[in-house]
A and B are shown apart, each in its own frame.
Chain A
């Protein structure tokens, strides 16, 4: 589903070049739930942005669903992003004056009129994220947990090949975070949704099948939970 080869990202400021990603190789299978962990500034969010086509690499290849993102023109990438990828951000990024259903429907408008079938799907999504009865409520009147539920429904509205989540529970308390993670996990288990989630929280990472530990722009360790000593790696990494 995702194949990354020798991925490098540099940011240039004046005379100074900062290499944020230093030649990453990565492979994520269809239907996997992967957590990317690492300290602030380790490059994990930059990687997610590149996987989502929100930015372009300095060097290297990114294949998502057998398409090379790095070889696409900007407009092509925008269409690919809209049709194949779903995003969830820490700060929800909803349109505050639009209602719940208008926010969820938003990515569909660019591809034409809302059909009855699409409207039915939006209502199904609203129910599946537990927001029945709030269809016409404005986004800015919702709690943080409810806003993130809307964001999840919006991310899933185009049946994305991959759901990319950047610290999706970072702004929520433990109880609300649990609800969001359970929701993501349910879509992963029931619909085989591929999810890549950046998090610094071991309690969120516990929901994932595999963990990618990031340090200073390189992958320090890819951890499968089937490995005997995985907790030891994690404990050392978090020390």
Chain B
């Protein structure tokens, strides 16, 4: 899903060839970035088939160029206006925890501790990274990491609450 809208976003202002699109999408994905080039080309095939993207030809180095079609622009704008439910980002752990409760999993405490440890590690590393980004003038990346940290804070508080109620 991210690759599709990443490509549509990258083509919004200018044409790109395939490898440029991979780099653009990596950059949009931020710290979690790095997609497989194959994913870009299979997604481009689908986008061409659905007439969201077309190819106006080749550049001077014989690389196939891609451009955004009106339908692609509409699709992108529609997606941008759809609110994202918060739970999607962390449903994996909630689901796992729910399963653990359902089967009265004896190691639930360990599961929560491990999750907490992971969150703390992310908090520490992201805090360091965001400070570096801010000093480099990367305001947007800094703000995105700040957002992630606020979610992590909520997750940490939630685990603490589960632990307190289980005592």
B103 at the interface (CB under 8 A from A): no
Is the pair B117, A203 in contact by a Cβ cutoff of 8 Å? Answer: no
- Chain B stretch 115-149: residues in CB contact (< 8 A) with chain A: 116-118, 120-121, 123-124, 126-128, 131, 134-135, 146, 149
The one of B120, B126, B135 in contact with A231, judged by C-beta atoms closer than 8 angstroms, is B120
**Per-position 1/0 for A179-203, Cβ under 8 A of B:** 0001001100110000000000011
Q: Does A232 lie at the interface of the complex (its beta carbon under 8 Å from any beta carbon of B)? A: yes
**Interface pair B146/A189, CB less than 8 Å apart:** no
Q: Does B153 sit within 8 A of A, measured CB to CB? A: yes
Cross-chain contact A234 with B120 (CB below 8 angstroms): yes
What residues on A are CB-neighbors of B118 within 8 Å?
231
Determine the distance from Cα of A49 to Cα of B30 in the docked complex, in whole angstroms.
42
A235 to B121, CA, bound (A): 9
CB-CB < 8 A to B156: which residues of A?
202
Q: Which residues of A contact B135 (CB under 8 A)?
A: 186, 189-190
* 8 Å CB contact of B128 from A206, A231, A234: A206
Give the complex CA separation of A121 and B149 in angstroms: 35
A207, CB-defined interface residue at 8 Å = yes
**In chain A, residues 182-239, which have Cβ atoms closer than 8 Å to a Cβ of chain B?**
182, 185-186, 189-190, 202-203, 205-207, 225, 230-232, 234-236, 238-239
What chain B residues lie within 8 Å of A205 (beta carbons)?
Answer: 124
Chain A neighbourhood of B131, CB < 8 A? 182, 185, 189, 207
Interface residue from B113, B116, B127, B163 paired with A206 (Cβ < 8 Å): B127
B interface footprint on A34-72 (CB within 8 Å = 1, 0 otherwise): 000000000000000000000000000000000000000
Asked whether any CB of chain B lies closer than 8 Å to the CB of A174, the reply is yes
Q: Roughly how many angstroms separate A67 CA and B123 CA in the complex, as a whole number?
A: 36
A interface bracket (residues with beta carbon within 8 Å of B):
20 to 34
Residues in B with CB closer than 8 Å to A25 are: none
Which chain B residues lie closer than 8 Å to A202 at the CB level? 120, 123-124, 156
A207 lies within 8 A of B121 (CB): no
The reply on A32 being an interface residue by CB < 8 A is: no
Cβ–Cβ < 8 Å partners of A225 in chain B: 124, 128
Residues of B within 8 A of A189 (CB): 131, 135
Residues in A whose Cβ lies below 8 Å from that of B117? 231-232, 234-235
Tell me if B113 and A203 are in contact (CB < 8 A): no
A203 adjacent to B120 (CB under 8 Å): no
B162 touches A (CB below 8 Å): no
- Whether B120 and A178, one on each chain, are in contact in the complex, defined by CB atoms closer than 8 angstroms, is no
Tell yes or no: B150 within 8 A of A by CB: yes
A78 to B124, CA, bound (A): 36
CB-CB under 8 A from A230, the residues of chain B are 121, 124
Q: Are B113 and A235 neighbours in the complex by a CB distance under 8 Å?
A: yes
Knowing A182-B131, A182-B134, A190-B135 are in contact, say whether A231-B124 is a contact too (CB < 8 A).
yes
Report how far A178 CA is from B127 CA in the complex, Å.
10
Query: Which B residues lie within 8 Å of A206 (CB)?
Result: 123-124, 126-128
16 A-B interface contacts by CB (under 8 A): A174-B150, A174-B153, A182-B131, A186-B135, A202-B120, A202-B124, A202-B156, A203-B149, A205-B124, A206-B128, A225-B128, A230-B124, A235-B113, A235-B117, A239-B113, A239-B163
Seed contacts A202-B120, A235-B113, A238-B120; 10 additional CB < 8 Å A-B pairs: A186-B135, A206-B124, A206-B127, A207-B128, A230-B121, A231-B120, A235-B120, A238-B116, A239-B113, A239-B116
